[in-house]
Structure 1
Amino acid sequence: INAIPDHGSGTILIRAHGVPPDVKENLRKVGFDVVDATCPRVIKVQSILKRHAKHNYASIILGNQDHPEVVGLLGYAGENGYVISSTNDLNSLPRFEKAIIVAQTTQNTLLFDEIEKLATEKFPHYKVFNTICDSTGRRQAEVKRLASSVDSIIVVGGFNSGNTQRLAEIAKKTGKSAYHIEMESDFEKLDLKPLVSSERIGITAGASTPNWTIKRVYRALEALSFKKGRSLRKLCFSIQRAMLLTNIYVSIGAGSLCYACTMLQGISRFLPYVIISILYVQSMHILNHLTGSESDRYNDPERASFYKKHKFFLTSLAVISGSAGLITAYTMGPTAFLILFIMSLLGLSYNLRLLPSRFTGNRYFRIRDIPGSKTFLIAVAWGIVTSILPPLSASGKIGLSAGLIFLWSTSLVFVRTAFFDILDMQGDRIVGKETLATLLGEIRTMRLLKVAQILGILLLLLSAVFGLISNLGFVLLICPVSLFFILLAYERGFVLPGIRLEFLIETLFPLAGVVAFVWWSF
């Protein structure tokens, strides 16, 4: 609200910048419940001002006159509050008998140092409080350090955000090409020639800029480097992105994993099962994105836009793929058809309301509402269609080798899916999606994935050593080992979330098929 009404009801949330004390009091008087979410650092400054105002100190605030935080601070300074934005402003003020100097918590640290130096020299009796937030100082220092190692720097954050504006100012003063953008669409308004020609680009952001906005900017920047590049690179990038958006590359990976699993088990008639895996995964992944894509608006807006624009085509592709998969399974016998039919029903019902609220306590209406269910169900579904369905359909039984291969393929897909959950954490939290990553947090989830991958590597290695699976198991170790090192590289900041990382992860599954084919050929 912009003004306090005569009467009110409900809850008012005071944002991190804070408000003058009389505003808070008046909101309560007219009937609002007030939840004060003022930043603790700002509250500290308010307390300093309030305490000294009681003793008739003049309060000098270094900040932007119209900034919401400064407006709130002036309310605590009383009638003797002043705002300055430079050393000249301080010199132009009357010489007070007693005064304090504080700063807006997101103020430029260099400017504050100049103010403090001037006050020490000319007004030694003034009390100076460095109230700039520690993270603000660190962030400004990081911008300088980052600028020294890159050709161009992008500062992401609101155009009206004081701390973001100061980061952009600091970046520009370094002499590097600096861009202040609020969102990825702002790239269209800028002269991008210096940016595209840069070999190294740094990205930083204001204190309140959400991670999903930074991720969207990074994705747009990543795409920009290809779109503005040579025609061959542009073509390759377009094909790569299209295969990811349509899930064609994911389904090829499922078929490749199925081929590797059949080779491990010595199943000679593998082609129908490979086709079934491709069609099933193609259908289920598209349908689940179509019916449950709220978080894509934050995690991957390009995907959300693509699915909205091509909804009819993608729905048709999913239905045709699912139907073709069932027909192929039917030709393989009742066992294969029944397994795939049940799995398809479960996949279709994942985002559908199954139970009325009186049976679920107003919480679990759908399978997707069960915390962490997506990660486990995707992994198990892939495991069944790639390693259990083929031997069960071919021989009517599942041996020890099939069980071991199921555990290995499931663990590989589990780590892949849970890792993508980590990349999508913030968007999932915004829409209330409870994935494994949002439940455990990034650190514990990464720890779990590394342990799971080590167990998967040991399982494949020992199964091959003891002759429980073919010698192909030794060669296929390249896939889980590569995934393990990708996890380590991401954890240490050597790779960043984006199209290339996503494509790299998905490539491990076609790699399994290629490795199996080469092994079979020799």
Structure 2
Amino acid sequence: MGLHHPRSTGERRTLLRRSGRPNWFRSLSISIYLLELVGASAITALGCVACNFMQVGWSRSAPLWFAGYLLVYNADRLYLDPADRLNTPMRFNWSLRLRSGRTSLVWLSGAIVAIWPLLTGRSWLLVPLAVVFGTLCFYSRPLPGGRFRLKDLPYLKSLLAPATIALSLVSWPALESGNVPRWKEWLVFLWVFLLLTINALVFDYRDIAGDKLTGIRTIPVLLGPRWTGGLLAILSGIVVILSIALSWLRLAAPLMTIALTLGCAVLLFSLRGRMSPTPLSVLADLLLFLPAAVEWLGR
């Protein structure tokens, strides 16, 4: 039996368009994710939820959260880490293709970080922001004249990003609004910090093989896959308990506890299933979107 050929030029064009759609959509989705736009959106959404819990405004901070995340992470990704080839093969393979996009995002987000404080009458923020971003530039890059990187700090690497981001999302807006940290602010801070720590530990769990090979000492490298899974289960349980407390205090909707219980369960199950790096990374970031989704549904 011979091969069937389209009977007209129109049919050929239709088939070509249909065959090209998945590849075009896949490339766009991968680019959006690898350029850290999803991560920046997740962090910004989580910050807005935290501010709602504390009953402080987030509109003046959100652009800096979004642009700051894009600036730090895309500037960091411009430097190829030796472990990337093994830990995140897709990001490594796409590094040259996305380099111009990363560079553009670095310049654009840097401009937003520099201009936004001036537009909102907070020019005093420029100095601390410059210090923070200047320091974080050496997360994967060696310090000038040496070989030390921030991610080489033993075991603290797993907690550095969660602590820095939690301070930006919770402590900074609270202090800027004139609120002295009380039990409510501390509760929200701990809740946000643990969510971010779970996210970070999942990424470090994903990177155990490459980090071991290159000598990066993270908490998952120290504990190994099995005990890291146990630690993540404990942290997930604490997040659920804190969510119950937030609901009891009427700071969060009861649905928050249910959503985070299911989200953490799916994430823990995915670790057992030996999911490939990119889908696992997406799941870890989706966990950070859940609180904002619950807040939106509760309106």
TM over 0.5: yes
Equivalent position to 1:290, from 75, 78, 89: 78
Structure 1 pair 347/305, CA: closer, same or farther in 2 (3 Å)? Answer: same
Q: Measure, in 2, the Cα distance between the counterparts of 1:293 and 1:372.
A: 18
Q: Equivalent residues in 2 for 1:115-194 (5 A)?
A: none
Residue matched to 2:189: 406
Which structure features the higher share of helix residues? 2
Structure 1 pair 355/306, CA: closer, same or farther in 2 (3 Å)? Answer: closer
Say yes or no: does 1:472 pair with 2:252: yes
TM-score (norm 2): 0.82
SS at match of 2:60: helix
Q: Measure, in 2, the Cα distance between the counterparts of 1:356 and 1:408.
A: 39
Residue matched to 1:515: 294
Q: Equivalent residues in 2 for 1:450-465 (5 A)?
A: 450-465=233-248
TM-score (norm 1): 0.49
Structure 1 pair 246/340, CA: closer, same or farther in 2 (3 Å)? Answer: same
Residue matched to 1:114: none
Residue matched to 2:278: 499
Return the letter of the residue paired with 1:453.
Answer: S
Does structure 2 conserve the Cα–Cα contact (< 8 Å) formed by 1:479 and 1:509?
no
Say yes or no: does 1:322 pair with 2:144: no
Structure 1 pair 429/342, CA: closer, same or farther in 2 (3 Å)? Answer: same
Say yes or no: does 1:433 pair with 2:224: no
Equivalent position to 1:313, from 87, 101, 121: 101
Does structure 2 conserve the Cα–Cα contact (< 8 Å) formed by 1:375 and 1:417?
yes
Question: Which sections of structure 2, spanning at least 5 residues, go unmatched?
Answer: 1-17
Q: Measure, in 2, the Cα distance between the counterparts of 1:397 and 1:326.
A: 27
Q: Deviations over 1:166-208 (max 9, x none)?
A: xxxxxxxxxxxxxxxxxxxxxxxxxxxxxxxxxxxxxxxxxxx
Q: Measure, in 1, the Cα distance between the counterparts of 2:85 and 2:24.
A: 26
Does structure 1 conserve the Cα–Cα contact (< 8 Å) formed by 2:174 and 2:180?
yes
Residue matched to 1:376: 159
Residue matched to 2:267: 487
Does structure 2 conserve the Cα–Cα contact (< 8 Å) formed by 1:286 and 1:315?
yes
Does structure 2 conserve the Cα–Cα contact (< 8 Å) formed by 1:437 and 1:445?
yes
Q: Measure, in 2, the Cα distance between the counterparts of 1:253 and 1:242.
A: 16
| Deviation (angstroms), 1:339 | 5.0
Return the letter of the residue paired with 1:384.
Answer: L
Bigger relative contact order (CA 8 A; separation at least 6) = 2
Residue matched to 1:445: 228
Residue matched to 2:38: 249
| Deviation (angstroms), 1:231 | 5.2
SS at match of 1:350: coil
| Deviation (angstroms), 1:251 | 0.5
Deviates more, 1:273-282 or 1:310-319: 310-319
Q: Measure, in 2, the Cα distance between the counterparts of 1:397 and 1:323.
A: 31
Equivalent position to 1:333, from 115, 122, 126: 122
Q: How many residues align?
A: 281
Residue matched to 2:9: none
Structure 1 pair 471/451, CA: closer, same or farther in 2 (3 Å)? Answer: same
Percent identity, aligned pairs only?
Answer: 20
Return the letter of the residue paired with 1:324.
Answer: I
Equivalent position to 1:266, from 33, 45, 55: 55
Q: Measure, in 2, the Cα distance between the counterparts of 1:234 and 1:354.
A: 40
| Deviation (angstroms), 1:391 | 1.7
Structure 1 pair 313/241, CA: closer, same or farther in 2 (3 Å)? Answer: closer
SS at match of 2:238: helix
Q: Deviations over 1:375-396 (max 9, x none)?
A: 2011112212222222222225
Q: Measure, in 2, the Cα distance between the counterparts of 1:334 and 1:395.
A: 18
Does structure 1 conserve the Cα–Cα contact (< 8 Å) formed by 2:40 and 2:65?
yes
Q: Measure, in 2, the Cα distance between the counterparts of 1:402 and 1:485.
A: 27
Does structure 1 conserve the Cα–Cα contact (< 8 Å) formed by 2:259 and 2:290?
yes
Structure 1 pair 454/308, CA: closer, same or farther in 2 (3 Å)? Answer: same
Structure 1 pair 313/232, CA: closer, same or farther in 2 (3 Å)? Answer: closer
SS at match of 1:284: helix
SS at match of 1:496: coil
| Deviation (angstroms), 1:428 | 1.8
